[in-house]
Structure 1
Amino acid sequence: MRNVTLADNERELSSISSAIAEQTAQSLQGVELLLRRAAVLTDVERVGTSSSTSTEFLRGQMGGVPQVRELTVADASGKLIASSAAADGSAINIAARPYFQYLEHAKGDAIAISEPITSMVDGKPTFAIAIRLESDSGRFEGVAIALIEEDYFRNFYREVDLQPGTQIRLLRTNGEPIIAYLQPASAPMGKRIQSVTHLVHGFPLAIQALRNESFVLADWRAFAINVLVRTALIATVIAMLAFLLIKLLRSLQGVIEQLRSSEQRWRAVFEHAPVGVLVLHAHSNYLMANPAFERMLGYSREELARLRAIDITHPDDIEVTKSNIDDLVTGRCDSVRFQKRYLHRDGHVVWTDMSIARVFAIYGPAAQSGRPTEHMLIATAEDITQRLDDEDRRRRLEDQLRQSQKLEALGTFAGGVAHDFNNILGAILGYGERALSVLGEGTPERRYVDQMTRAGDRARLLVERILTFSRSGMTARVHVHLQPVVAEAIELLKGTLPATIKLDVRLDADDAFAMGDATHMHQIIMNLGSNAVHAMPQGGVLGVALVRVRSGAPVSFSHGAVGSRDFVRLTVKDTGIGIPADVLERIFNPFFTTRRAGEGTGLGLSLVDGIVREYGGGIDVQTAPGEGTRFDVYLPVTDAPPAPHEHGRESLPHGDGQVVLLVDDEDTLVTLGEEVLAELGYEPVGFRSSIAAWEALVTGPNRFDAVITDQTMPELTGLALAARIRTLRPGLPVILCSGFSNTTLERDAREEGVLTVLRKPLRQADIAEALARAFKPASSH
């Protein structure tokens, strides 16, 4: 009986430690998932998010995870960069912590459990769970740390209703205890201890359940003494038999109480498990379901008792569920694990990770045949809907990043081609202008040259489109009154519509202005309108709407994201054939088109995407096959009125013999520039080398009255030359020319004191007006 008592106690300790280890694993898995989500905070910190924002972000992540008392992120040097604690932890460094040093030299998704520590933020005892943060290349970037509430686990151990003298300890794998809880006992503890240890699945931890043998064998000793006394006195005192019988019944009552206590302990584990636990008949009704499963699907225990497993299973997963249960019933396997979808009571889909095992079989009247009539199954269901959604969102973001990188590479290539082409166009248009000025009206030669310059203008517009596509074509922005520009573009589009297409226009943003270029708005409407017409071969309705909207919070669209501010929303929708899913994800790719060869270039939507991104806006696409497509273009607006329009002058401003230093590495453009400057009344001095030009400036700094320089040159760029001029002679006007200019170049030019940036190909009027502005202050004196 002593051996049986010890064996029963060992089984009970094993069950307790196993159940608590499973609960601990489930709790820590939630902590690990929280750490994975909090790891994105390191990217937030790089772009300058305030400490209060990061604190609120981490506190928001801790909602519903009571076992975490503090969430912290540290960089690769051990310095805390964010914490859910209100105190400023910027001066705290955890590089000396053993778990930090372990993760620093680990690889992959490493996780570490610390020894019992004292929080550097609030000085309270705790222990830490930390994960390694690394870049895509595997470089160590820091750790995300969750400080655990020790009382959370102690309270759970206390609720298990342990016998007196029972101790539960949470150990690290090296045997070092982190948390220990002892059920108080009135009697003194002995030296012999029974213990059972179970590893915590997925973590370097173990649960150890211990009980003193003096408590375990207390009932056995009492029973043994009673038996000895009864045997010794049975021959002399018959009356003692009744007394001993009563003692035995009392002992049996104690066993019953122990069984009842054991049932209560297991009921506590069943009721408080964080995952759904089910007991059911194979292919039949649910017998039991814990509260976690009820909350997961929205059904009460009574409703589940009237349902079968397939009644609330997603129709597409019924067969796989039946197949796995059949494998258990036929004995092909003892347990199965798979993912399946349930239908929540309100209709939405719940993804679960199922684990099912066959426990035993119940025999009915057919037991004589040796065949069981029913099979009992026990299953656990973990809700993984959010995790799958997070993984899907991460894959979409990765796809967008790869697409952005492709577009950036294509844009760089297009910008380089446009730069070289602009230099060629500069010579063509420049000499074309000069030829027109010397040819008589009505002569064949003038007509030929005029056609040549018109072709050059068309080429210049093509370069503008290439620069816009490369996201580098916008150099100077002006205030654009959007509604008249949109109305003008719609009038142009209306003339190309077939009779089978009806135009529905609604413009309600008369007070909206944007900083940009009116030509870009024309390009957006014409490209979206052309695609809409192409999508309605049998006719339909083309809708165009313009309205001003307010975004109160950051919003992510299907293509791009915007912050919190005022926007104007341009909507172009059709009632055409729609866009298939496999085509939708590629519509903004350069050179992608669904039209036949010769009908489209595939650059239209790429151009629209480039313009919208350059403006800091976003595009939202909604489509359904057979129901049409809707493009919503969001552009930031400003309340400032548009700049007044300057009328052209009948004659260009001329100089008074000022000496202008001209620098360009293209021989043709230097020769052309000297002729143009001489014709405008200036004395040009041209250089084909920026180094030679700088040496001329050093030799005679007061010789020149202005400098016109190209930006892209092999030896010394135009900005670098401007920086040197600024140190040599700060007041000398510098005009910068570029065939591949952008807003970054303009900003850098202003910082170096450049008067203005001109975009190639240059016209004589551009040079004349720029020099007039350069010498205007001097002439006013």
Structure 2
Amino acid sequence: MVLLWIGAVTESFRSRQLVLQSNDRELSSLASALAEQTARSLQGVEFILRRTSGWALDAKIAQDSRAAADRFLREEIAGVPQVRQLDIVDATGQRIATTLPDSPAANVSKRAYFKAVQRASGNALVVSEPLVSIIDGRPTFAMATRLEDEHGRFKGAVVALIEDGYFLDFYRQVDADEGTGITLRREDGAPVVSSDNRQRSGQAGRPVLSARKQVPEFQLTVDITRDEALALHTWRVSTIYDFMGTGALSLLVVGLGVALMRRLQQLGRFTRRLQSSQRRWRAVFDNAPAGIMLLRPRGRYVAANPAFQRMVGYSSTELQNLTATDITHPEDVEITRQHIERLLQGGLQSVRFEKRYQHRDGYTVWTDVRLARVTVSEQASGKDPAREEDVIVATVEDVTQRREDEQARRQLESQLRQSQKLEALGTFAGGIAHDFNNILGAIVGYGELALQALADETPEQRYVAQVLKSADRARSLVERILTFSRSGLTTRQPVHVQPIVQDSIEMLKVRLPACIRLEAELNAPKAHIEGDPAHLDQLVTNLCVNAIHAMPGGGTLRVVLDTLDLDAARSLSHGAVEAGHFVRLAVSDSGVGMAPDLLERIFNPFFTTRKAGEGTGLGLALVDGIVREYGGGIDVSTMVGAGSQFELLLPTIDSHTSQPREDEKACPYGEGQTILLVDDEEALVRIGEERLAELGYEPAGFVSSDAAWQAFRADPQRFDAVVTDQTMPGITGVELARMIRSLRAEIPIILVSGFSSPALEAQAREAGVNAQLRKPLRRAELARTLKHLLPD
């Protein structure tokens, strides 16, 4: 009888230890899973805070951009259930942007987490104590990151209010026992989120079982507690019945049978509780949004949750027949092996890195992987002794979309910088064009007068003629810069393509090196485009000059012009064209060709492969700008060592007539009409007066638009026509034209400008300007325009 009771007490004590150990393992496993899941949820919040901080510092938020900032914040937390509100506050704690724009103004300067962010440095991240929302009074807690300028001075903070219910709901799903509490604490022990009802139910102070796990990468812990009484409830009942059974066994055999039956029932309940604990772990494993897998260090997969199976496209059964390297991208196999070796041999608790998986369908999946080593013990069975084995637990997050978004953002930033370069160039070109063309105007004007005063076939005449040719080249250079910067685009006109291309080729032959053979095949005699003849000449000239430079040792330059009909849209290497009728200009060479990395940059402004001083890098950028402006496209084909071909497609028009090119030497004369001449450059006024007088007109020149207006207002009938500059101090040419029209509606007005644009042309037409001429103004052009506008 004594031995029977000793056995009963011993068995009771052993059963108690087993129950406590089982609860400890269960709580530890549950705490680990919850810590990992909590880390994943908070990493998403941290990523939003970091990206929002970078955006806030770059965007330089102002009051007039509040709506855009609020919209950006709402887009950042869209689809992130754990974040209920995202704010940006300034250095005083005043909210300056929020995802709740209609909420009342709030100041968080007295919040403890705000003061902690103020005291911090760098990109510190602070997690607050439990809070009550200033807006709606609901429980929450905050994560905040510091904003500081380039000197490290505190500029404010980005604050995310976390949805308290998000974590509470998750905690309730994984453990429904009333005696079990789950608490998320800060490093100082302050609770952040708690599902522990023990305090409210009057159970505080009773013995508890507990487990604590650090939340990876955050100064937080997950604490799980369970009333010891609850954990030992089964044991106590079992012990009571054991003792009752022992007592009954001492009295009679029948009592022993009853006790054994009840013991079996209690063991069944204990088994069901263990199974319930296993189901809770399985719920975490199966429902986690991140991929979770177990694998042997140098063997096959042991298990993989549904999230990982969806990520790589393989079922759990298929994965068990694969190793870690079988579905890893070939370029990442070695780095994966190195990280596993570090984990196993370096004494690390976990390692984290990015790697690529090959999806079953063939595409690449970028992931953020965290590996941890777990030692699993197996009990002895039969003749096999107990043994321990290392198993790797991996959590995998799909970051493919995040990387694609980041790449798209970098592309947009690159396009923005390119646009800013073009805008700056346009502003620069427009600013210098007026002054530079004024200088060229004086050179051309006095050069023409000098040329007329000299006898034919004299050295002096040839010298002056060369000066005028150089001035024409300078004027062409300004046209190229203005065309490239979009500042010089003018109203288009029908252009007969083949004669312009033929003239450009003839001009090119003069400077063609002897080692290069030119082949031209022009088969588009009726093709017309809507544009500018000068632009077409620039296309031919720039492409041919580039081809010549690509053949330093000589070769063949081939120019082909023909027409092409497209029944469907076509994508080209640089641009795309819709279906329609096109004129095709192909320029090819037998030179050195281009490598792929060079081909990607040839149309970038200021990019050139020539030596310093030999090229500006604007030639192909100008070609690209003109072709795009005309609605065409460019197809480039090249091979290193075998030459290149540039094929331009420009849409044609139905017009079969273009403006006839007038004889530059034809200068019709006037009949003594009085011309009001206005320009703020005195040299241009003087040369203009001499030109007009030579052409048979009576000039009245003014270097001030105000003085010219006073003279016209004093006697409007004195003048027969007006020639005015556009850019002048005080009254501009368009404004002067509008004022003159108010006094005399029928007088012809000619506007002269150093550069033009569609906007300026529209303003001039609205003001009543009859004709617009470009500086430097040629004598014959002025003579023909006046003759056309003045009545016979």
Match of 2:273 in 1: 258
1:738 aligns with 2:762: no
Letter in 1 for 2:274: L
Structure 1: distance between partners of 2:632 and 2:143: 39
1:662 equivalent in alignment to 2:649: no
> 1:566 & 1:13 partners in 2: Cα distance?
73
Q: Verify the 8 A CA contact 2:343 2:372 in the aligned structure 1.
A: yes
Deviation at residue 262 of structure 1 after TM alignment: 1.7
Structure 1 505/281 Cα, relative in aligned 2: closer, same or farther at 3 Å? Answer: farther
Find the residue that maps to 1:283 and give its secondary structure. Answer: coil
In the alignment, what sits opposite 1:357? 372
In the other structure, the counterpart of 1:603 is: 618
- Equivalent residue for 1:294? 309
Alignment counterpart, residue 324 of structure 1, candidates 329, 339, 350: 339
Q: 1:27 to 1:750 in 2, by over 3 A?
A: farther
Equivalent in the alignment of 2:10: none
In structure 2, the partner of 1:245 is 260
**C-alpha deviation, 1:140, in angstroms:** 9.7
Contact 1:99 1:130 in 2 (8 A): no
Residue of structure 2 equivalent to 1:478: 493
Which residue is equivalent to 1:93? Answer: 102
Residue from 32, 37, 40 that aligns with 1:26? 40
User: 2:292 is matched with which residue?
Assistant: 277
Greater shift, 420-429 or 224-233, is seen at: 224-233
- Between stretches 519-528 and 213-222, larger displacement belongs to 213-222
Give 1:360's aligned amino acid. Answer: T
Moved more, 241-250 or 526-535: 526-535
**How far is 1:724 from its partner?**
8.7
Judge conservation of contact 1:736–1:758 (CA < 8 Å) in 2.
yes
Alignment of 1:203-218 (within 5 A): 215-218=230-233
* Aligned residue in 1 for 2:598: 583
- Does the Cα contact within 8 Å between 1:524 and 1:608 map onto a contact in 2? yes
Instruction: After TM superposition, give the deviation of residue 324 of structure 1 in Å.
Output: 2.2
The 2-side partners of 1:551 and 1:142 are apart by 51
Q: Which residue number in structure 2 is paired with residue 718 of structure 1? A: 732
CA contact (8 A) 1:283 1:322 kept: no
User: What SS class does the counterpart of residue 102 from structure 2 fall into?
Assistant: coil
Select which of 692, 700, 710 maps to 1:685. 700
* Counterpart mapping for 1:230-241 below 5 A: 239-241=254-256
CA contact (8 A) 2:527 2:652 kept: no
Deviations 1:415-447 (A, max 9, x none): 555443322221222233344556666676655
Whole-angstrom distance in 2 between the partners of 1:727 and 1:217? 104
SS at match of 1:378: strand
Q: Aligned equivalents of 1:375 and 1:761: distance in 2?
A: 85
Equivalent pair of 1:78/1:100 in contact (CA under 8 Å): no
Indicate the SS of the match to 1:274: coil
CA distance in 1, matches of 2:155, 2:656: 51
1:234-268 CA deviation, whole Å, 9 max, x = no partner?
A: 76566444433333332222222122122222222
CA distance in 1, matches of 2:692, 2:146: 61
1:267 aligns with 2:262: no
Q: Which residue of 1 aligns with 2:9?
A: none
- Deviation of residue 759 (structure 1)? 1.8
Looking at structure 2, the residues matched to 385 and 164 of structure 1 have their Cα atoms a distance apart, in angstroms, of 41
Q: For the residues of structure 1 that align with 2:495 and 2:125, how far apart are their CA atoms?
A: 54
Native 8 Å contact 1:415 1:467 kept in 2: yes
1:500–1:539 Cα contact (<8 Å) kept:
yes
Structure-2 change in CA distance of 1:418 and 1:99 (3 Å): same
Do the aligned partners of 1:726 and 1:752 also contact (CA within 8 Å) in 2? no
Pairwise CA distance, 1:672? 0.9
- Cα distance, 1:644 vs. partner? 5.4
Q: Are the structure 2 counterparts of residues 720 and 525 from structure 1 closer, same or farther at C-alpha, using a change threshold of 3 Å?
A: closer
- 1:373–1:163 Cα change, 3 Å: closer
Instruction: Summarize the Cα distance change of 1:338–1:725 in structure 2 as closer, same or farther, 3 Å threshold.
Output: same
Aligned partners of 1:79 and 1:94 also within 8 Å: no
Larger Cα-atom Rg: 2
SS in 1 for 2:673: coil
CA 1:72/1:751 → structure 2, altered by over 3 Å: closer, same or farther?
A: farther
Tell me how far apart the structure 1 counterparts of residues 488 and 584 of structure 2 sit (CA, whole Å).
22
Point out where structure 2 has 5 or more consecutive residues left out of the alignment.
1-12
Q: Unpaired segments of 5 or more residues in structure 1? A: 84-88
C-alpha contact (below 8 Å) 1:27/1:67 kept by paired residues: no
Distance in 1 of aligned mates of 2:162 and 2:526: 56
In structure 1, give the amino acid aligned to 2:444: L
Q: What residue number does 2:406 align with?
A: 391
Q: Distance in 2 between matches of 1:577 and 1:350?
A: 39
**Using a 3 Å threshold, how does the CA distance of structure 1 residues 312 and 763 change in structure 2: closer, same or farther?**
same
**Pairing of 1:526-605 with structure 2 (within 5 A):** 526-528=541-543, 530-531=545-546, 578-590=593-605, 592-595=607-610, 602-605=617-620
What residue identity is the alignment partner of 1:467? L
Structure 2 residue matching 1:321: 3-state secondary structure: helix
Aligned to 1:86: none
Shift in Å at residue 281 of structure 1?
A: 1.9
Please name the residue that 2:8 is paired with. Answer: none
3-state SS in 2 of match to 1:312: coil
Deviations 1:15-35 (A, max 9, x none): 445534533553565677789
Q: Is the 8 A contact 1:718 1:736 kept in 2?
A: no
**Contact 2:527/2:583 (<8 A) preserved:** no
Between the two proteins, the alignment pairs up a number of residues equal to: 739
Matches within 5 A, 1:507-526: 513-514=529-530, 516-526=531-541
Question: Kindly tell me: are residues 7 and 702 of structure 1, through their superposed partners in 2, closer, same or farther at Cα, counting changes over 3 Å?
Answer: farther
What is the aligned counterpart of 1:315 among 330, 333, 338? 330
Once the two structures are overlaid, the 10-residue window that deviates more, 693-702 or 588-597, is: 693-702
Query: Are residues 78 and 771 of structure 1, via their aligned partners in 2, closer, same or farther at CA, if it must alter by over 3 Å?
Result: farther
CA drift of 1:285 comes to 2.0
TM-score by length of 2: 0.70
Q: Which moved more, 1:613-622 or 1:337-346?
A: 613-622
**TM, length-normalised to structure 1:** 0.71
- Provide the rounded CA distance (Å) in 1 between the counterparts of 2:738 and 2:148: 40
SS in 1 for 2:357: strand
Q: How does 1:118-129 map to 2 (within 5 A)?
A: none
Question: Conserved in 1, the CA contact under 8 Å of 2:675 and 2:697?
Answer: yes
Pick which of 337-346 and 211-220 moved more. 211-220
For residues 390 and 621 of structure 1, what CA distance do their matches in structure 2 show?
A: 30
**Residue number among 476, 479, 482 corresponding to 1:464 in the alignment:** 479
CA distance in 2, matches of 1:349, 1:483: 51
- Report the alpha carbon displacement of residue 159 of structure 1 after superposing the two structures with TM: 5.5
Q: Counterparts of 2:139 and 2:654 in 1: how far apart (Å)?
A: 57
In structure 2, relative to structure 1, the CA distance for the partners of 1:171 and 1:657 (3 Å cut) is: farther
Distance 2:482 2:721 in 1: 29
Residue 593 of structure 1 aligns to a residue in which SS? coil
- Equivalent-residue separation in structure 1 for 2:400 and 2:242 (angstroms): 61
* Deviation (angstroms), 1:648: 3.7
Give the letter aligned to residue 23 of structure 1: Q
**Distance (whole Å) between structure 1 residues aligned to residue 446 and residue 372 of structure 2:** 87
Partner amino acid for 1:307? L
Post-superposition offset of 1:690: 4.5
State the percentage of identical aligned residues: 43
Task: Please say if residues 441 and 684 of structure 2, whose CA atoms lie closer than 8 Å, have aligned partners that are also in contact.
Answer: yes
1:390-422 deviations in whole A, cap 9, x for unaligned? Answer: 333433443444455445545555555544332
Shift of 1:669: 0.6
- Residue type matched to 1:662 in 2? V
- Superposed, 1:624-773 pairs within 5 Å as 645=659, 648=662, 652=668, 654=670, 657-664=673-680, 666-680=681-695, 682-690=697-705, 692-693=707-708, 707-713=722-728, 715-716=729-730, 718=732, 722=736, 725=739, 731=745, 735-747=750-762, 749=764, 756-768=771-783
2:435 matches 1:420: yes
C-alpha RMSD of the superposition: 6.3
- Whether the 8 Å CA contact 2:528–2:654 is kept in 1: the answer is no
Shift of 1:176: 9.3
